[in-house]
Amino acid sequence: MRSRPIGFLLATLAGAVLALGGTSAASASPSTAPASTASGDVGTADACYTWGGTLREGSSGEAVRQLQIRVAGYPGTGNQIAIDGAFGPATRAAVTRFQSAYGLAADGIAGPATFNKIYQLQDNDCTPVNFTYAELNRCNSDWSGGKVSAATARANALVTMWKLQAMRHAMGDRPITVNGGFRSVSCNSAVGGAANSRHMYGHAADLGAGPQGFCGLAQAARNHGFTEILGPGYPGHNDHTHVAGGSGRFWSAPSCGI
């Protein structure tokens, strides 16, 4: 007798075979080569986090919290969703926007299609495929010495990365350059950072030159959960765009109309 998780994995596997273009013959013959390839794909998804069932408004717990991290970049313009494990209307709206962004049925209910898309988008360490912890911390190796615990700083940086992944996708999936993120208090002092800089909380990222342009980055950041945006025209920000999460909103990039 199979446990529920195994059943879910098999269902996921069958879906993966179909998604990979498997024919009905392939699904009817699970011992063929395509099935073992799909099995490897499922294993990769497992390496970070695997959801065990559908989540919808009213759901709660760690599975919801993990989902909220992944859809944090879809809060709607000027908003930010709570990463609190409670699936309310804001989470439902974020899931719906995520689904629309990737061409999935947009019903605000997170099921296998949504989770499979997330598995495609994440690395084994749970970072989105196009961003790394190393990019988000050019200060030290252990996230220590900031204004919050190392674990909190690192967790905040993970949310920041998922916001950047959403923004990157919305801007045509072109690379976004990240020149730094977390700073310990001493790293922040060394670069002349503001006394209460969000870099010391792991919330902030400094975006460098790229095809989007600094103003393009600042303008797009408004749609993806960044409550602090500093760009061209704001003192010290003509050569990068600073984006951060955290409470309160402060956006200023006068040269970009912000």
Count Cβ neighbours within 10 Å for each residue of 5-32 and write b for 16 or more, e otherwise: eeebbeebbbbbbeeeebeeebbeeeee
Site residues, Zn ion (CB under 5 A): 204, 206, 242
**Cβ 256 to Zn ion shortest distance, Å:** 16
> Which residue's C-beta sits nearest to Zn ion?
242
Separation CA 81–CA 161 (nearest Å): 15
Q: Within a 10 A sphere around the Cβ of 102, how many other Cβ atoms? A: 15
The three-class DSSP label of residue 236 is: coil
Closer Cβ to Zn ion, 79 or 179, answer by number? 179
Closer Cβ to Zn ion, 117 or 203, answer by number? 203
The three-class DSSP label of residue 243 is: strand
Q: 143, 115, 142, 136: which is closest to 245 by C-alpha?
A: 136
Closer Cβ to Zn ion, 158 or 204, answer by number? 204
User: Is position 237 annotated as part of the catalytic site?
Assistant: yes
Residue 216's φ and ψ, nearest 5 degrees, are: -60, -40
* DSSP state at residue 254: G
**Cβ 161 to Zn ion shortest distance, Å:** 15
**Cβ 252 to Zn ion shortest distance, Å:** 12
Q: Which of 169, 199, 224, 237 is catalytic?
A: 237
Closer Cβ to Zn ion, 119 or 226, answer by number? 226
Active-site residue numbers? Answer: 237
